[in-house]
Amino acid sequence: MTTNVGVLALQGDVDEHIAALERAGAAAFAVKTPADLERAGALVIPGGESTAVMKLLERFGLKEPIVHRVAAGMPLWGTCMGMIVAARDVADLNQPTLGLIDITVRRNAFGRQNESAEVALPIAAVGAPPFPAVFIRAPWIERCGPNVELLAKRDGHGVMVRERNVLATSFHPELTSDRRVHRYFLAMVEQFAERVKGKSSTAA
Ligand code: GLN
């Protein structure tokens, strides 16, 4: 069974994610309303501008249902702005977030001269060779909670993390042709779908 992966489509690089997910073997579609979200078995929050998207999430009535679904086990992946929106909090800023993963992030952390860069990033969880990671005004992770798995670091700072059903990357795997991080997320999606199935078959 293929899980339908929704891509939050309020703002940001939505089409690139949909195309990359489809190339990695998933069925993907744009999520703009709570009804769209109900059809999604997993959700990607793409890159964009985090303060704008938090306001739009409230306005479109998506904030509560996303928090509720993720707490119930729906897999979620935030890239760049999506990582900021998913984080517990933002360093030195009183910025609202969804609090879906126990990390503190710093916005635009890699500095002005480094606003955009492609870095060869070793990620053991997806195997060799290093991953071509595109950073665009990217956040880094300043604090990880006790249950957060640190999957990759750039210049000593966390840039890829996972806590249970939530994955977050500072960089943009949808902007390269390497599909390994998309496949890693789809493996998480399968794993959680299996758990849900496992639960209902024990109940039956
Ligand atoms: N700098 C943006 C923010 O802080 C994130 C940039 C991105 O998603 N490429 O919201």
Where do the domains of the chain lie, and which CATH numbers do they carry? Answer: 4-203 (3.40.50.880)
Rounded to whole angstroms, how far apart are CA atoms 140 and 21?
24
Q: What burial class does residue 103 get, using C-beta atoms within 10 Å of its C-beta: 0-12 exposed, 13-18 middle, 19+ buried? A: buried
Taking a C-beta distance cutoff of 8 angstroms, is the pair 80, 170 a contact? yes
pLDDT in tens, 175-184: 999 999 999 9
pLDDT in tens, 77-124: 999 999 999 999 999 999 999 999 999 999 999 977 667 899 999 999
Compute, in angstroms, the gap from residue 159 CA to the centroid of ligand 1.
Answer: 13
Q: Is the pLDDT of residue 203 over 90?
A: no
- 182 flagged as catalytic: no
For residue 19, CA distances in Å to 24, 70, 123, 136, 166 come to 9, 23, 23, 19, 21
The verdict on the CB of residue 50 being under 6 Å from ligand 1 is: yes
Q: Which of 7, 10, 44, 49 to mutate to test the pocket of ligand 1 (most atoms within 8 A of CB)?
A: 49
3-state DSSP assignment of residue 173: helix
- 80 flagged as catalytic: yes
pLDDT in tens, 113-172: 667 899 999 999 999 999 999 999 999 999 999 999 999 999 999 999 999 999 999 999
Atom of ligand 1 minimally distant from the CA of 79: 8
pLDDT, average across residues 33-49: 96
Tell me, yes or no, if the pTM score tops 0.85. yes
The verdict on the CB of residue 85 being under 6 Å from ligand 1 is: no
Instruction: Compute the mean pLDDT over every residue in the chain, rounded to the nearest whole number.
Output: 93
Task: Give the angle 102-108-113 at the CA atoms, nearest 5°.
Answer: 145
pLDDT in tens, 51-79: 999 999 999 999 999 999 999 999 999 99
**Of these residues, 16, 80, 163, 182, which one is catalytic?**
80
Atom of ligand 1 minimally distant from the CA of 47: 8
Count Cα neighbours of 110 within 13 Å in the Cβ-side half-sphere.
Answer: 24
- 144 flagged as catalytic: no
Number of Cβ atoms within 10 Å of the Cβ of 70: 21
In the 8-state DSSP scheme, what is residue 95? Answer: -
